[in-house]
Chains A and B, each alone.
Chain A
Amino acid sequence: MISPAEGPGGPDIKTLAAEIHETMALVDQLVREVKVGAEAHQLQGRLVELATILTKRPDLTILPGLVVRAYSEVTDALGGIQRSREAIQHYSFERLQRSHAKLSEVTNVTESATLELMNGLDRALALIDRVGAMTPDNADAADAIGSLRNEVNELFGHLQFQDITAQQLAGVGSLLEDIEARVKAVLTLFDAGSRRPAAAPTAGLAYNPDASFDDVRGRQAAIDATFATRRGDESGVAP
């Protein structure tokens, strides 16, 4: 008896089906390869087409050169920016920092000197008191001693210059700090994640940047007038 899957003297159906399947797979592969070849040929065709266009349009052949020149110029510009950055770092930023340090030094030195002067004035006042105690019954001496004491007290008052100039210098120092922050921001302009400098704080300052020696008497009079007006009387006292 012959199996339905095999004929007499020929391959069986299973084997034939496998061969057909294998052949079909080979055909599929061949089709894919032909397609790729066609695409490559197409690309080649396009390249040839482009070459033909470039041959017909010689002006377009300068394009690659232009790109190279632009790249070179951008590189030069970046080098210039780097040099400017170094110059700012060296001449501006560091100089600002030095100026700031100098200002602080001036403030500290004048404060120390002022305190020394005060110590001297205190000693002078003690001596004046001693001399006064030595001549209790001499009216002329008492007058002179009183005048001398007033002079020394006046000198004390003049030392207020230190507090006022210290406030003025603190104001300038704060300005320098602000400029430093801005210069720093410029220096980091081309760095990743650069940020705008934060605005300098103006509230709650421990100094008055507008401190001045100008026309103190006139300004005091204006203040007194304001107080009088606001308080509703001439005493300048809260109701």
Chain B
Amino acid sequence: MKCLVVDDSATMRRIVLNALKSIGMTNVLEAGDGNEALQVCDGSVELVITDWNMPNMGGLELVRSLRGNPTTSKTPILMVTTRSVQEDILQAVEAGVNGYILKPFTPQVLKEKISQITAVA
């Protein structure tokens, strides 16, 4: 499965990459913000894992852009963030996020969420 990890923190990208590797996902692209993500995300990407708070273009805006593009409108999107206020969750749902993981997470939680959203999508 081809996956795109979007986070402005190089540390977090490596952590997510390691977690994905530990569950057998090795075909992974990286982007440092929403703008970079839009440049690399095409129809071949089967899963997007994105942070919320990023410079230039944040995760929520990225999700809206992806959902507005017919090529990526159905791509499963997992938001991985520190934001846990109810209003934020509802905004993410409205934008079209398929799953939502709170940082810090374990590889097990990541695996479960990926299984959930990719099985249905």
A binds B: yes
Q: Which residues of A contact B53 (CB under 8 A)?
A: 167, 205-208
A180 smallest CB distance to B (angstroms): 21
Decide: B15 and A236 in contact? CB cutoff 8 A: no
Indicate which residue in A154, A157, A226 contacts B86 across the interface (CB closer than 8 Å). A226
Q: Which residues of chain B in 71-111 are interfacial with respect to chain A, using CB atoms and an 8 Å cutoff?
A: 76, 81-86, 89-90, 93, 96, 98-107, 109
Interface size grouping (class) on chain B: 35 or more
Closest A residue, CB atoms, query B120: A237
Given contacts A223-B102, A236-B99, contact A157 B89 (CB under 8 A): no
Decide: A157 and B105 in contact? CB cutoff 8 A: yes
Indicate which residue in A157, A222, A224, A237 contacts B121 across the interface (CB closer than 8 Å). A237
Decide: B98 and A156 in contact? CB cutoff 8 A: no
State A39–B42 Cα separation when bound (angstroms).
96
Decide: A237 and B116 in contact? CB cutoff 8 A: yes
CB of B22 within 8 A of chain A? yes
Decide: A157 and B83 in contact? CB cutoff 8 A: no
Indicate which residue in B19, B90, B109 contacts A220 across the interface (CB closer than 8 Å). B109
Q: Which residues of chain A in 188-239 are interfacial with respect to chain B, using CB atoms and an 8 Å cutoff?
A: 204-208, 210-213, 216, 219-220, 222-224, 226-227, 230-231, 235-238
Interface size grouping (class) on chain A: 35 or more
Contact flags A146-167 to B (C-beta < 8 A → 1, else 0): 0001100110111111111011
CB of A181 within 8 A of chain B? no
Closest B residue, CB atoms, query A207: B53
Indicate which residue in A118, A204, A226 contacts B90 across the interface (CB closer than 8 Å). A226
Decide: A230 and B11 in contact? CB cutoff 8 A: no
Decide: B82 and A210 in contact? CB cutoff 8 A: yes
Q: Which residues of B contact A216 (CB under 8 A)?
A: 102-105
Indicate which residue in A115, A149, A157, A219 contacts B102 across the interface (CB closer than 8 Å). A219
A residues engaging B (CB < 8 A)?
111, 114-115, 118, 121, 149-150, 153-154, 156-164, 166-167, 204-208, 210-213, 216, 219-220, 222-224, 226-227, 230-231, 235-238
| A/B interface sample: 25 pairs, CB < 8 A | A118-B15, A159-B11, A160-B12, A161-B104, A162-B11, A163-B103, A164-B82, A164-B103, A166-B9, A206-B54, A206-B58, A208-B81, A208-B82, A210-B83, A216-B102, A216-B103, A222-B84, A226-B93, A227-B93, A230-B90, A231-B93, A236-B117, A237-B98, A237-B120, A237-B121
